[in-house]
Structure 1
């Protein structure tokens, strides 16, 4: 039996009101014989854990459950912070958890289905509940940052220190790290379960078109399922029925952001902030402004969200915004301090490593990526970053080698695992005649067998064969690389060199011409992309404003 965990923001929950973060899981109980009456096997179960704002499991927390027209069911969490409600009829439920001193969390619109177990993990004490209870004080956070983003400018000084290859690697790693942003989702709701939930909610909205809850809950599910256009009519109706609803206004802003209607998203978000300042609204505005091409207001919204609610997701997105806009020193500060708050977050360590690499701290970058891979050795992401950093020398080279070897051992059917381990082994060779050369060749061949369009692996095979003066195989490998990726400029260049060595001048000239043409086009494309990504100008405490150095 598998449980797929989802975040409340993205999946399956309707009307999250106080929960700082809710993780949802749905698990099938298997097939049961369905009769006219509901037996115990036909009924649903709701279970989960309750944690405080620091992530610690909470015992003796009061958890209550209610559906429309029924009495409230109440339980206390056990010594492991767990609760369980069984024997429930299918329907739409509201869950509430609280414990004195730790705050509370509520989730509305939990759809329970027959023969299903749903997991809802509550985290008490969100930023919203703190703002409502002044006695709880400000959110626990770290000292004020030692930097201020003072403005944006067009990219400059991109050459900086190191080769163009290193600069390109820094940029690609920053983008890759930023792509890890957003709330952590440990899975997705099974398609059949999501479809059944949507069916139930559509029927409810059709039965009661003037019912706010029916319209809102369906709209929320549609937004979570990336059906924002379908959701808008229901959200508009819900807003008409209850103009003061925070939830429907927030979901409208989310829907407009998803559709690229940024002005409408802003209007709805600012209407919410006029009532009460909430972290999730600032974070949403950060997403809106970044997608609209306004990085300066975006980073300020991400920062404010993290100040109000220093969650792992909000801190990561703040750091990622700094990193993608070439502010590695501020990004290092945010990721570093967030890592101390969330030491088990692998992506925080990956972000920190990418920021350190961007600043030229290659040893520290490798150290933190190794630590990220140790948190979850089966996660390929940290290994990918380590593999792409092999173009620079690092005092952590042996530690990186150990992790890349582990990656290949744990995932022998992963083409990237074989490829990066091959590159690492080749780096340690004493020459083409080193005994490890055959091992390198075997790993690269395995990589292209697993992924026939792996152009970089074919390129490395060609380089290996050319070193051995096995020119026919080198030519074949380079041609396969070009076939997989015609714009891989290095493959054209190296193929031209082989043709020269074999006296085939016409072919060499043709490949060099292609190399020069593709290099010019690729360089132009890279420059255009660089110009599109504005660069932050930032002030470090007791220092003058500066643009990040490369």
Structure 2
């Protein structure tokens, strides 16, 4: 297929394949006129196939369509499908296409039985069913292999795809995310969700040093200048520039390569990445949809394309389409990346229960994935279970105690827990022991000790907390929350001079931290400096209103998924 010039809508497909994949892959992205056109093309294509039997007139005919699969849900091509009408002498016969689908158009009203057979599998028969006038019915038949060991489905797919118990149905408004007093908890849930998503956005590791990469770029630039008509040179240079984070510079070379070899999948994929990196999401979507159309024609699923399309739909503000593409990618290839991004998308849009299901199964398949455990812990916290969150964050830390990321997730929990658990205290003590010269480690351990202290009379703990906080701000002079906590400590001691100095350093490091202005205003009140107190409290009010508006806008942008559960098993479902 020529990918050098791609329309914003996919080209027409073979009718039988369109029947199987029409609504799933293309339906949500096409106009009504295009859908009607493609449906007509599908009908014309199917009518040209050899199907034997009696048919009704087009005006009052019904249609039967569906697919034939193995027990793991894999579509089976070349299966023979028999449709027997009650009282009829000869069955109508069809064969599944390369996508495992069949279709019987122009059927008379009446009762039918469906049967499918394929070499190496036992036959499958449906129960009796009725086709009415102008009715379209869908039936899926599952064939069991004659020998279990002949099943060709990958073990990972068999293990994971016992069909998710949920379906994302749409989105809803998020103006009311909790009752009175829940704002801190809601903010922590949102922060953990963002932290989880960020784990999937890391830059790809490079296999060579920057100097060698730059040298390769220079060599390829010279080659492209001497041989502008060389496909390999243009493609390699464009790919290298994409990997270096220079998508706009890559576009001319990849577009030229596309004209030189329009059928190159590898170049079309890199060109899509360049469009994405250049924020040209409409062209990126058109190109990846064209690639998917070709893959479907060749009866090949492509997980990386669906994953890429999920990224693009997310950028275009289409969360439902994005999560469906991530799910398709995971179904085709349940890799760590595909499962993690699917779960992260669900979590980001506040579908905690489905996210728990995906991360749990991802953890089962990839027990050594730290980020899968962090996603699972974040999902449990979003679902309301602090203990489960701590457990999974600690498990993530145990996989690699030197990795600071799990400890940072644990630190998030301190904002809502009045008395932290013993396990959390032990882990954050381990963090500062392993990384004593890390500002965040010293701050996190100081904060949890502060919450565990017995009260103002606990001078020993207070001194230890002060020492840890002083070290934290020494290691990172821009650590605003470190100065803030020092101010809280000095205020409790009634050392108001040091408290005010600490709060002043807080707002110097982060002028938008409204709590610092509020606490400084309260201290000024206690010292009788009422004018300064009013000024700080006015700043606090302004910042609070501004932040509330920002939070509301963000929550409206990140809409909440509405999902339906399929036959939930009580023992397997997370409880409220």
Alpha-carbon contact 1:155-1:530 (below 8 Å) kept = yes
Residues of 2 paired with 1:187 and 1:446: CA distance? 35
Residues of 2 paired with 1:285 and 1:161: CA distance? 39
Residue of structure 1 aligned with 2:528, choices 485, 488, 503: 503
The answer for the alignment partner of 1:413 in structure 2 is 437
Deviation at 1:207, TM superposition (A): 3.9
Residues of 2 paired with 1:265 and 1:352: CA distance? 31
Residues of 1 paired with 2:545 and 2:342: CA distance? 35
Residues of 2 paired with 1:433 and 1:308: CA distance? 61
Residues of 1 paired with 2:408 and 2:396: CA distance? 12
- 1:350 aligns to what SS in structure 2? helix
Q: How does 1:148-227 map to 2 (within 5 A)?
A: 148-160=167-179, 163-182=182-201, 185-186=204-205, 189-227=208-246
Residue of structure 2 aligned with 1:482, choices 507, 516, 524: 507
Return closer, same or farther for 1:449/1:526 CA change in 2, 3 Å cut-off: same
Return closer, same or farther for 1:345/1:395 CA change in 2, 3 Å cut-off: farther
Deviations along 1:255-281, one digit per CA (max 9) or x if unpaired, are 111111111111110111112131110
Alpha-carbon contact 1:366-1:396 (below 8 Å) kept = no
TM-score by structure 1 length?
0.72
Residues of 2 paired with 1:472 and 1:183: CA distance? 43
- Does 2:557 align with 1:538? no
Q: How does 1:55-454 map to 2 (within 5 A)?
A: 136-137=152-153, 139-140=157-158, 141-160=160-179, 163-182=182-201, 185-186=204-205, 189-276=208-295, 277-393=301-417, 397-434=421-458, 435-454=460-479
TM-score by structure 2 length?
0.69
Deviation at 1:137, TM superposition (A): 2.9
Deviation at 1:318, TM superposition (A): 0.6
Deviations along 1:481-513, one digit per CA (max 9) or x if unpaired, are 111111111111111111122222222222111
- 1:389 aligns to what SS in structure 2? helix
Q: What is the alpha-carbon root mean square deviation over aligned residues?
A: 2.1
Deviation at 1:185, TM superposition (A): 4.2
Q: How does 1:506-517 map to 2 (within 5 A)?
A: 506-517=531-542
Deviation at 1:460, TM superposition (A): 0.4
Alpha-carbon contact 1:157-1:549 (below 8 Å) kept = no
Deviations along 1:113-132, one digit per CA (max 9) or x if unpaired, are xxxxxxxxxxxxxxxxxxxx
Residue of structure 2 aligned with 1:467, choices 492, 495, 509: 492
- 1:538 aligns to what SS in structure 2? strand
Alpha-carbon contact 2:418-2:451 (below 8 Å) kept = no
Residues of 2 paired with 1:180 and 1:165: CA distance? 23
Return closer, same or farther for 1:521/1:549 CA change in 2, 3 Å cut-off: farther
Deviations along 1:132-167, one digit per CA (max 9) or x if unpaired, are xx9843544331111110001221431248521111
Residues of 1 paired with 2:317 and 2:403: CA distance? 32
Q: Which has the larger radius of gyration?
A: 2
- 1:390 aligns to what SS in structure 2? helix
Residue of structure 2 aligned with 1:526, choices 551, 560, 565: 551
Return closer, same or farther for 1:230/1:135 CA change in 2, 3 Å cut-off: farther
- 2:169 aligns to what SS in structure 1? strand
Residues of 1 paired with 2:304 and 2:418: CA distance? 39
Residues of 1 paired with 2:525 and 2:515: CA distance? 15
Alpha-carbon contact 1:363-1:394 (below 8 Å) kept = no
Report which stretch shifted further, 472-481 or 427-436: 427-436
Return closer, same or farther for 1:322/1:274 CA change in 2, 3 Å cut-off: same
